[in-house]
Chains A and B, each alone.
Chain A
Amino acid sequence: MLKEKIEKHLLEIQKPSRYIGGEVGSIIKDKSKVDVRFAFCFPDTYDIGMSHLGMKILYSLTNERENYWCERCFAPSEDFEAIMRENDIPLYALESLDPIKDFDFIGFTMQYELSYTNVLNMLDLAGIPIFARDRTEELTQIVVAGGPCVCNPEPLADFFDLFILGEGEEVNLELMDLYHEMKKLGASRKEFLRKACHIEGIYVPQFYKFHYKDDGTIERIEVTDDAPETVKKRIIKDFDKVYYPENFVVPFTEIVHDRVSVEVLRGCLRGCRFCQAGFIYRPFREKHADTIVEQTKCLCENTGYDEVSLASLSTSDHSEIDPMLTKLLTYTAGERINLSLPSLRVDNFSEELLEKIKRIRKSGLTFAPEGGTQRLRDVINKNVSDEEIMNTCRIAFEGGYSSVKLYFMMGLPTETDEDIMGIAELAQRIIDLFYTMENRPKGRGVQISVSCATFVPKPFTPFQFEPQDTREMIEHKQKLLLDSVNKKRVKVSYHDPNVSILEAVLAKGDRRLCDVVYTAWKKGCKFDSWGEHYHFDKWLESFEECGVDPAFYANRRISYDEILPWGHLDYYVSHEFFVRENKTAHKAITTPHCRLKCSGCGVNKEIGGRCFD
């Protein structure tokens, strides 16, 4: 038993309750009665991973099956990792405290590019061969991954036996069923993978060989072992009826999102051209208001949480938003539950509802115009106008607010210095508005915080073809912004461009990046998303040693007819649509959202014609 070994050191480390399980809601089974064991791994610490909604859904869903057992596993913090390595404690799952190397499936969810090295580190801590090719021929220890990043899984392809594309609620169980069946027949790993690749949504990278041209671009993708030419992602058709957990594991230590989270809709109808989530989660589907209220009640009662938030890409686009919030607020107010609302468009709410929302909203006001000028916002198809921003600010100031947070992106396609100065001008107009209002909050000045992320071009977006700004360009723009803002009233923060460069390379990279990721991890890179752990110099050395030029992936414009590393994966939004949207973007023309007019992205074909009634 590992328990004793673990407990011996738990008091030497930070927040020990993260490493010993036993939380309310965690599911314990008799392993002698379990046929397939799945270790659901989140490649970051407990505090972050436990906040992930997808894990909660798939954890409960798998455990509904009596003979399958899904357990949780997270990356240990530095202090505990050192103890694990020193005392030969292999990476273990939190329910049974059994080593995950003995599991049938080791499944990672890939939520962001900067967690890739953590996957390697976790496999290493577990004692599982890092490269898929080094694993046994036996049918066990199948290392799989899902999540948004696997829409281009190539930079991870060498480390995984298979990838799960799209939504996991159905395909995960199909995959486990197949495994269970083939295990009984004594099949090998390879035999299993050959069958698995015919389940819709399953991509087995070893059956696809990449051939490159002299200029570094892809010449062709050779398919072996009778695997399908293109792999389609999975979509849940009846989203209102899809499985949703009745209980969550309730942690002892505080986690990032420490509350009940109810998914209200999936997909997004806005079509912002930089946003990967906006395209890979299509089509837009919603749950009925009553379903949402029922699920909220059930989860609050079972977990004891007194806070709930609504999860979606854009909650205000729900067609029943007004009745939904009214019903939810009636329930939550009665039970002393805090309903935390994400940024909502408040334009079309009833007076009554607005009043109610005002009473519960504690946090400040946040906008994401993303671009500093109307022209640039048209390019990225972010349909927020100056007027809307000013109107909402006025309402907020009247309601007693005196601070506003604005999110922007820097380095967007077609961006000029004028667009950067536009950010400062927009902030100044909000400041001026504040001081021209007679009924503004007294006794305080207005504070604007401007937060600038660096644009990262992503696969499966109209901007997948776009080059990222070089570090020099970004640094110039950051300096320009700092010089143009009213320093007394505006606080500017921005991302480290070195981080965004790596994100772009890993997001758009091909299979040649696997060696770079491996080399960087060997040099000690892990927790790359944690500023203090990020070593860009080690990454640069790794690129150099592997003969890979990061600029080829980040800063090169991809032509429309190039074979893309993710070209054999089908997320139902067509290549032609992305090309069309890219061209429209360069003409600074917007595309209306899906409810107004179908833009013909292609996803409607899969769901039988129309996304909306």
Chain B
Amino acid sequence: MIRLRAVFSKKDRAKYISHLDLNRCMLRTFRRSGLPIWYTEGFHSHPYFSFALALSLGYESECEILDFNLNEEVPFDEVRDRLNAVMPDGMEIISVAEQVRKITAITNAEYSFSLVTDKPESLINDIKSLINQEQILIEKKTKKGVKTVDIKPDMKIVSCEVSEKSVDMVMRLPAGTQTNYNPSLFFEALKNVSDMPFETAEIRRTGIFCENNEIFS
């Protein structure tokens, strides 16, 4: 059995494929590619696919991680090309390589997005005052129920720019097996403090990182 890791993008119309549907979609893509898929042994034999992080419906990404197994060795580039030949529109395998680190090494993820508004200047003022608060408390739904979290200590703003019709931001948030914050928490916090109506657009995951800000691979 050969363990491999693919980095893939999910853009345009493919952003409407839900996480649940993605598994089925990948299985069919692999079957179309004719690659030697490895199947689990046991009574309910099935192929092994594991996505490092779930991606919210409607979010784009250029760095999704898929772990999978093959039965025989196939050159990395060939695996990539054969999959890309039969991938749905909007999805593309960027690279295939060995699995270097464990999934548990992931600590945070980076997102870019636009906040579309008529008055970006006043929205950015609200953003500034929000991030200057001592705490940014927001209710987060978890499996166990709703709890209040402070996203301020773990939220890192990489960039924040004003354009004609929007405020464009890049931000890193905790991700992985321990804590997962979705940018929607930030949007909600901003809605709580700002009178400026805005719509979110082009939300995209742009990077997945381990400790020390190393790119996960």
Contact = CB atoms under 8 A, between A and B. Distances in A.
A254 B24 contact: yes
A305 B57 CA distance: 24
A11 B58 contact: yes
Interface in A2-50: 10-11, 15-17, 20-24
A338 to B, nearest CB: 11
24 contacts: A11-B58, A16-B16, A17-B13, A17-B16, A17-B17, A17-B21, A20-B13, A20-B16, A22-B12, A22-B13, A23-B88, A24-B28, A24-B88, A250-B28, A253-B21, A254-B21, A300-B31, A301-B34, A304-B30, A304-B86, A305-B31, A306-B27, A306-B28, A306-B31
Nearest to B200: A11
Contacts of B57: 11, 16
Contacts of A305: 28, 31
Contacts of B86: 24, 304
Interface string B1-42: 000000000001110111001001101111110100001000
A73 to B, nearest CB: 17
Contacts of B31: 300, 304-306
B197 interface: no
Contacts of A23: 88
A381 to B, nearest CB: 42
Nearest to A18: B16
Interface of B: 12-14, 16-18, 21, 24-25, 27-32, 34, 39, 45, 57-58, 86, 88-90
Contacts of A20: 13, 16
Contacts of A15: 18
Contact of B88 (A252, A254, A300, A336): A252
Contacts of A319: none
A577 to B, nearest CB: 46
Size bracket of the A interface: 20 to 34
Given A17-B21, A254-B24, A301 B32 contact: yes
B92 to A, nearest CB: 14
Nearest to A251: B21
B25 to A, nearest CB: 6
B79 to A, nearest CB: 16
Among B13, B17, B21, find the residue whose CB has the most chain A CB atoms closer than 10 A.
B13
Given A21-B13, A304-B32, 12 more contacts: A11-B58, A15-B18, A16-B16, A16-B57, A17-B21, A22-B12, A22-B90, A24-B88, A254-B21, A301-B32, A303-B28, A306-B27
A304 B13 contact: no
A10 B16 contact: yes
Contact of B27 (A10, A21, A24, A304): A304
Nearest to A21: B13
Nearest to A11: B58
A302 interface: yes
A301 B30 CA distance: 10
A17 B57 CA distance: 10
Nearest to A8: B199
B69 to A, nearest CB: 14
Contacts of B88: 22-24, 252
Nearest to B57: A11
A10 B58 contact: yes
Given A22-B14, A304-B27, A304-B31, A336 B21 contact: no
A74 to B, nearest CB: 15
Nearest to A302: B32
A280 to B, nearest CB: 35
Contacts of A254: 21, 24
A590 B66 CA distance: 61
Interface string A237-268: 00000000000001011100000000000000
